[in-house]
């Protein structure tokens, strides 16, 4: 997005009010993939009070300024940004869980959008990991974002919440961010051999259509390596480069690049097709 000749970051929020669908893993793999394979400048923002995103990318989340300090207006966002081997990160911690009660101003849905404004010219992408809830933090992410990505596990309960999610998206589009786009639904923990996974994929395609979106061509296959990599503070690409999820996330990141209109150089493609 251009603003007075300056190209501003593409902002993507990952969202699903159901927990355990691989949202944080997908957020960290997207942020690390964009910077590793496409040399993009990425800022990852953790809006989940559990603080897993910063931890996954190798940061100490207890002794630093967090997004809570930023949203409260105590410090500018520049003072909360930390660098990792993959990208810049603004971490979160449990204090953020009081946001619903603490943020009471009339423009409380705009806190994140305003906080991000000063740094948008410095990055190619901002990736926001949201809490597994439809609360004021999630709405802040929707208001700030250009695109939403909805990670989903292939289980029926994962589908049930999507109607509620659709209502929240519609409401934000109507009142606060008319150009909010749902980039796609990404199926995680996928095993194409099970009937349930295939049925859920079909249902997900119907739901995606209702919100003017689609299901990503790539599905993320299940593997223990996904659960292991955060404990090492490494991306899936470094922890287990030959695993199925590592290959799948690479393809997913490439899809995101294409869908958001970023050109892919031949050099990147050579780099990506390496085993």
The residue among 268, 231, 227, 230 whose CA lies nearest residue 250 is 268
Q: What is the pLDDT of residues 46-96, one digit of tens each?
A: 999 999 999 888 887 778 899 999 999 999 999 999 999 999 999 999 999
pLDDT for position 45: 98
Q: What percent of the chain is modeled with pLDDT above 70? A: 93
Category of 173 on φ-ψ map: left (φ > 0), alpha (ψ -120 to 50) or beta? alpha
pLDDT for position 274: 47
The residue among 15, 111, 19 whose CA lies nearest residue 67 is 111
pTM of the model: 0.93
What letters, b where the CB count within 10 A reaches 16 and e where it falls short, cover 123-146?
Answer: bbbbbbbbbbbbbbbbbbbbbbbb
pLDDT for position 266: 55
Pairing mode, if any, of strands 2-3 and 6-7?
antiparallel
Question: Whole-angstrom Cα distance, residue 270 to residue 33?
Answer: 15
pLDDT band (50, 70, 90) for residue 2:
low
pLDDT band (50, 70, 90) for residue 275:
very low
């Amino acid at each position: 997005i251009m603003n007075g000749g300056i190209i501003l970051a593409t902002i993507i929020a990952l969202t699903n009010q159901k927990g355990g669908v691989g949202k944080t893993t997908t957020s960290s793999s997207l942020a690390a993939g964009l910077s590793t394979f496409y040399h993009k400048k990425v800022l990852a923002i953790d809006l989940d009070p559990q603080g897993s995103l910063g931890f996954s990318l190798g940061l100490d989340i207890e002794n630093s300024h967090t997004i809570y300090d930023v949203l409260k207006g105590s410090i500018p966002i520049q003072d909360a940004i930390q660098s990792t081997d993959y990208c810049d990160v603004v971490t979160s911690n449990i204090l953020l869980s009081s946001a619903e009660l603490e943020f009471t101003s009339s423009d409380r849905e705009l806190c994140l959008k305003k906080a991000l404004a000063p740094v948008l010219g410095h990055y190619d992408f901002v990736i926001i990991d949201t809490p597994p809830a439809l609360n004021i933090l999630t709405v802040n992410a929707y208001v700030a974002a250009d695109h939403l990505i909805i990670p989903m596990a292939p289980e029926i309960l994962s589908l049930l919440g999507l109607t509620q999610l659709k209502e929240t998206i519609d409401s934000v589009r109507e009142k606060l961010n008319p150009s909010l786009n749902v980039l796609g639904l990404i199926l995680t923990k996928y095993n194409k051999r099970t009937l349930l996974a295939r049925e859920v994929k079909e249902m997900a395609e119907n739901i995606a259509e209702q919100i003017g979106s689609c299901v990503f061509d790539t599905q993320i296959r299940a593997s223990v390596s996904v659960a292991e990599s955060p404990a090492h503070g490494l991306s899936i690409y470094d922890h287990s480069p030959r695993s199925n999820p590592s290959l799948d996330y690479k393809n997913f990141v490439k899809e995101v690049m294409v869908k958001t209109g970023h050109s892919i150089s031949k050099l990147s493609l050579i780099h990506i097709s390496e085993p």
